[in-house]
Amino acid sequence: MATPDSSTENRSKAARYSFAARALHWLVAAFVICMVPLGLYMVSRGAATNFDALTGQLYDLHKMAGFILLWLIVLRIIVRLTRGAPPPLATLTPFERMASTAMHHLLYALLLVVPVLGWAGISAYPALNILGLFNLPGILPANEPLANKIFSVHGLLAQVLGILALLHIAAALRHRFVKHDGVLRRMWPLN
């Protein structure tokens, strides 16, 4: 016979995201936390240094990380579609459920669109070489004016993604430290 503590523990484990979903969530989060500031810094540095060698290496790092991020988010979406998500907690208000759904849809959309725009931009520029080691496959023909427009949209949407990520973090922390309702525990990587 299960004790009350063990049945609560079983319910909390059952209500968590799968290990794969949690691992991919935190891996994608680490990429975004690094990519947005790196993107802002490399653009600023490029303007200040007339694109010196270090700036070129930062761009290469950003391109490679963006390409990896794109495939991580594709994998994450596949995991989400195949394994699903736990049902919303009963403690969530209707507004919180709506806001959570909208936030997740926006984050998934931007996590796909921003790297694809970056890839399209480097294809149109063309600047597909990564650290002199290999070239990413091109997805658009060379067209530098188009590349500049794509990069403008890419940068703007990356900043929007960064802001939404901060709001997502703030909401998770609110659930953890104000509501104490277990929302953060469902995605926490440990246990």
Looking at residue 79, which CATH number applies to its domain? 1.20.950.20
Between helices 53-83 and 19-49, what is the axis angle to 10°? 160
Check: pTM over 0.85? Answer yes or no. Answer: yes
What the block records as the tokens of 74 is: 């594709």
Report the pLDDT value the prediction gives residue 149, as an integer from 0 to 100.
98
Residue 154 resides in a domain: yes
Residue 5 resides in a domain: no
Q: Where do we find the tokens 């009963």?
A: 90
Report the pLDDT value the prediction gives residue 101, as an integer from 0 to 100.
95
Residue 3 resides in a domain: no
Residue 2 resides in a domain: no
Residue 4 resides in a domain: no
Residue 104 resides in a domain: yes
Instruction: Give the C-alpha separation, 157 to 183, whole Å.
Output: 27
Report the pLDDT value the prediction gives residue 58, as an integer from 0 to 100.
96
Report the pLDDT value the prediction gives residue 91, as an integer from 0 to 100.
87
Q: Which residues of the chain have pLDDT under 50?
A: 1-14
Report the pLDDT value the prediction gives residue 15, as an integer from 0 to 100.
83
Residue 60 resides in a domain: yes
Total structural domains in the chain?
1
Report the pLDDT value the prediction gives residue 28, as an integer from 0 to 100.
97
Residue 7 resides in a domain: no
Range of the domain at 113: 12-187
